[in-house]
Amino acid sequence: FDAFAGVIKSGGKTRRAAKMVILNADHPDIVEFIDCKEVEERKAWALIEAGYEGGFNVPGGAYDSVYYQNANHSVRATDEFMTAVVEDRDWQTRAVVGGRVMDTQRARHLMRRIAEATWVCGDPGMQFDTTINDWHTCSNSARINASNPCSEYMFLDDTACNLASLNLMRFYDDERGFQIESFRHACEVVISAMEIIVDDASYPTPQIGENSHRFRPLGIGYANLGALLMARGLPYDSQAGRDVAAAITALMSGASYAQSARLAGVKGPFEGFEVNREPMLRVMRKHREAIRRIDPAYVPLELLQAAKRSWDEVLELGEAHGLRNSQISVLAPTGTIAFMMDCDTTGVEPDIALVKYKRLVGGGMIKIVNQTVPLALRRLGYETDQIRAIVEFIDENDTIEGAPHLREEHLPVFDCAFKPARGSRSIHYLGHLRMLSAAQPFISGAISKTINMPEESTVDEIQEAYIEGWRLGLKAVAVYRDNCKRSQPLSTRRGDGAAA
C-alpha cells in the first residue's frame, strides 16, 4: 500500500499522495508498528550520509529508497490504555479474531516506545478512541474507527467530507476589530454552498457516494488564527488568546449548524438523522455546554453572546427540524490554500517563524516574511518610525528579539512555533496543546495540527505531550521535533539543507 501511494500523485502532478495508517494499541503487531518508520528513517539518514539526495520527491533519493514515506502513522488508544500508562499497569495485546491474549507488557513501556520513535521521525502520532467516539454524532449507525491522512476528518467508514476554510484576517478590521456579523453570514453562505455540493460531487467508490448522501458530512474551518491573534496583540500561548480562539470557533460551528438546521426545515434532515437523533442532539448540547468554559473577561462581549445565541439556535431548530448535516466543521491544515489566500499562518497554527525559508519542488528557495507584525505593533501602541525600525530589524536578523524600541513585555505576542536561528524564544509544547483544547469542544470532527517542539526536546517531554493531550480532551495529537528529519519543507535558516 505504501508503494501504491508513492505511484499516486496529488492532482496527478509531482507531490506524493498521503494516507493514514492506524493500529489499535491492543493489536499483537503494535510494537513492530511503532518501530517501523523509525527504522526506515535511520536507513534514510545512512543513505544521505553516503551521498544520496536528501530531499523528498527526488527519484532515487534517500527518502525515495525507504518504506513508509507516503503514510502518516498513528496509534489508536482508548482511555483504558492511557489510564494504564498513567498508573504504570500491565497492558495486554489480543488476537483480532477471537480476542485471546497474545502478549502482556507494561503500558508505559509501549508509550515510551511511541515517544522514542516520534523523537526520531515524528511518527507515530496518537488518536484517542474513547474521546473520539464520545463526541460521535452518529454512534447508532456505527463507531468511528479512523481518520483521513491529516487527522481532522473523523467519521463513519466509507464517507467523504467537503472542506472549506475561511481566512480569519478577512474578517478583522484594525479599527473595529473582529467583524462578527460578517463572519456569521459567511459561515451560513459557505455551508449552504457546501451542502449543495454534496449532491453534485463525484465520489471515488459507490459506497462512499452512498454514505455521503445519507449522512452529508461537511467540514467548514478556518486559517490564519495565529495571525489574527498577533494582529490583536494577543500571545498565542495565553489565556486571552485561547478564549478568543474558542469563541470564534464556537461561533463558526454554531452558526453553521444553525444554518444546517434551517436547511433541514426546508429540505429535511439527513437520512441517518432519526436513527441518530439522541446522540446527535446529545453532542450538540455538549458543544453548547462547553461555552461556559470560555472566560468572558478575555472575549469581546458581543462575540461571546453571538456564539451563545448560535448554539441556542442549533438546539431549538435541531429539535424542531433535525439537522441537514451529520458533521459541520473540522480544522484542516490548509497548507497550500493558506498560501493561495495570502495567509501568514495555517489552520489553527501559530506562525512557524516570523521569517522562514521554503525550498521548492524542483529547486529554488523563497523567503517568507510575516506580514502581520506591523498590525500588531500598531495595536500595541508603537509609532510609525518605531514600527519601521522593528520590521527592518526582523528582515535583517530573521528575529524580533533585540529589535530597537520593542518592549520586553510584548515579546510573547510574536512568539512562534520554532526558535529563530538568532533567537531563543518559542511557544512551549503545552501552549500548542492548550490551544487545541480550547478549540476542540467546538469542532465536529478534529483538528489537524502539529505540536512543534524544539530540536533539544527530550523523549520524556514528547511522552508527556501525548499524555497531556489525552488529559485535555483532544481527539488526536501529532508531534514534530524541529530538524529530527534530514529534510523538512520549512526552516528558520537559509542554508540548513531543508528540502520540500
Catalogue the active-site residues: 148, 150, 152
CA nearest neighbour of 436 among 419, 449, 417: 449
CA nearest neighbour of 68 among 152, 2, 151: 2
Q: How many CA atoms lie within 13 A of 169 on its CB side?
A: 23
DSSP conformational letter for 367: E
CA distances from 88 to 83, 107, 111, 272, 481 (A): 8, 6, 10, 41, 26
Calpha distance 402→395 (Å, rounded): 13
Contact 153, 328 (CB under 8 A): no
Q: Could you tell me the three cell numbers for 48?
A: 544521505
Contact 390, 373 (CB under 8 A): yes
Q: Tell the residue number behind the cell numbers 491492543, with chain if given.
A: 26
CA nearest neighbour of 90 among 76, 108, 72, 102: 108
First to last CA, the chain: 23
CA distances from 200 to 21, 148, 163, 194, 197 (A): 30, 22, 15, 10, 5
CA nearest neighbour of 404 among 416, 383, 377, 386: 386
For residue 450, give the 3-state DSSP assignment. strand
Work out whether the CA dihedral 242, 243, 246, 251 comes out positive or negative: negative
Neighbour-count burial for 467-500, b at 16+ CB within 10 Å, e otherwise: bbbbebebbbbbbbbbbbbbbbbbbbbeeeebbb
